[in-house]
Amino acid sequence: MEKKSYQNLTELLIKEYVLADSFIPYTSIICGICACKMVYDLTQSFSSVYFKSYSSLSKVQRTEWSNRAISTFHAIFIAAMSLYLVFWSNLYSDNQYAGLVTFRSSSLSTFSLGASVGYFLADLGMIIWFYPSLGGMEYAIHEPDFQFDPDGRQPKLFVIQVLHHLLSLIAVAYSMLIGEGQLYTFMVLISETTTPGINLRWYLDTVGMKRTRAYLINGVVIFVAWLVARILLFMYLFYHVYMHYDEVNFSCKTCGEAGSELWTGVNICGALGPVGYELNLVCEDYKGIKEDISKEALRKRETVGRMGKRNHCIGLGLAKYPRLPHCDYNV
């Protein structure tokens, strides 16, 4: 009886306080931060057991190894939730009885944005705490012994990365707390689909697999994901804004043009912040793929040429001579 009473009390506490609409933003932020900490610790434990090359990494590389695991986990989570809410759920469907699309929200959408805010807070804290090990490393060249840029480039990269996180944090938090423009926030967050491929690229490079087929395939995936998430998706976003311009305009008048314009500018700037870095990766991967394909084609041509010469010489040898001295029979 006492056990049942405690169970009912716990359910009531969770329903009325933890998962109440007014508490969901704060609960989700805490859950996001705790999830980041859990992924960080699990990655360290898992990698030390199942990845032989992990033990040979430096302390800085191990920190970034775990940090990128957090980034990948968040990207998969928020991209999956964004795709579901934008394209598969009925929350943002063109239903004339559901109200303005710019004001629609739900407990699930608010919780998802709150978890993303928790990630940005945790990652921003790690960037500042581990500087210069993490600050700017995402935009720098990853060398095995790289620690600090002697020409002063590292502090600039640190500022760029902090600004990117702050802009993203402000935009997502505003949409979560106010409940305005969550649809377009999720559309922007779909662009996180490029993050897992970029992190995998770093993992493969760090463990010495840069010249492998896996690295080549990953480069193609990054290019396709970048094209869809950073180019085609934003074209669809602006098209959607154009088709629902009356609702967007009404939202601006209701909530204040200054606030709406600030949210729009910060949201887009936060999403487009990594574009320069990702475009550089796409160009590098394109050059690498082109180079690898050229080398592979050259090797095939050389192999076919040698085999043709060998078969020709063997044919002549069988016809006239036991062995021809000028032919290489061991090709």
* Structure confidence by residue, pLDDT tens digits, 33-78: 999 999 999 999 999 999 888 989 988 899 999 999 999 999 999 9
Residues of the chain with pLDDT under 50: 12-14, 17, 136-148, 150, 262-263, 266, 270-271, 276-277, 314, 316, 318-322, 324, 326, 329-331
pLDDT at site 67: 94
pLDDT at site 167: 85
pLDDT at site 90: 87
Residue 325 is given by DSSP the state T
- Determine the residue type at 146: F
pLDDT at site 329: 47
pLDDT at site 147: 45
Q: What digits encode the pLDDT tens for the residues 295-326?
A: 555 565 556 555 555 555 545 454 444 454 54
Q: Which of 247, 105, 226, 238 is nearest to 172 (CA)?
A: 105
pLDDT at site 319: 44
Alpha-carbon span 68 to 185, nearest angstrom: 23
pLDDT at site 294: 57
C-alpha to C-alpha distances, 224 to 79, 98, 286, nearest whole angstrom: 16, 35, 11
pLDDT at site 247: 74
- CA angle 165–167–170, rounded 5-degree value: 105
User: 3-class DSSP state for residue 90?
Assistant: coil
Residue 232 is given by DSSP the state I
Does 325 sit behind a cis peptide bond, omega within 30 degrees of 0 on the bond before it? no
